[in-house]
Homo-oligomer: A and B are copies of this chain.
């Protein structure tokens, strides 16, 4: 049996990135739902949450912004945002329901962000940071727009999981592992660390505020 994950790697990454965008848009609507925003405000927060990280990555790397190059991402974010808005008015979704898709989104964004930077031959530390930015920046913008302290700054190993995954990806690629397997390993690591941290309430040490 010849497992050649590389053949469809681009299709896979594409589908995964679309799914990540949709999940982040849905999470944006849930977060915005705590504020008295109207439908449009909600869609804007959903778009910022879903596209913010990748946009910042592309602007910093001076690439064509991904959702301008390909409208599908924009459509995925809008549809997911509207669908969540409609759904939440009918069914009451527990906030925890979204933690798993959100963790998947984090894994996908981290991998795609790191890969994009590596493809442009960015230095390794920059590539890692781009992975983290792509993974967490959307959530930061979402919280800033909702006038909240960004959740990712105190959440259970959120950015840390992204950081570890990006680091693993850069390491594996430098080591000669094929892009597909490296992405799979890195994404799995992000997912595992985040889900374990959620279950076991792992947190990084929190800075003690000065009195």
Contacts and interface: CB of A to CB of B under 8 A. Distances in A.
A68 B36 contact: no
A208 interface: yes
A108 to B, nearest CB: 20
Contact of A153 (B37, B85, B158): B37
A85 B206 CA distance: 10
B38 A203 contact: yes
A100 interface: no
A175 interface: no
Give how many copies assemble into the complex.
Answer: 3
Contact of A74 (B37, B62, B125, B206): B125
A10 interface: no
Contacts of A60: 55, 59, 65, 68
7 contacts: A36-B207, A37-B153, A38-B206, A40-B160, A55-B60, A71-B123, A144-B147
Ordered nearest first, which 7 A-B pairs have the shortest CB separation?
A41-B153, A38-B204, A37-B153, A39-B204, A40-B159, A147-B149, A71-B123
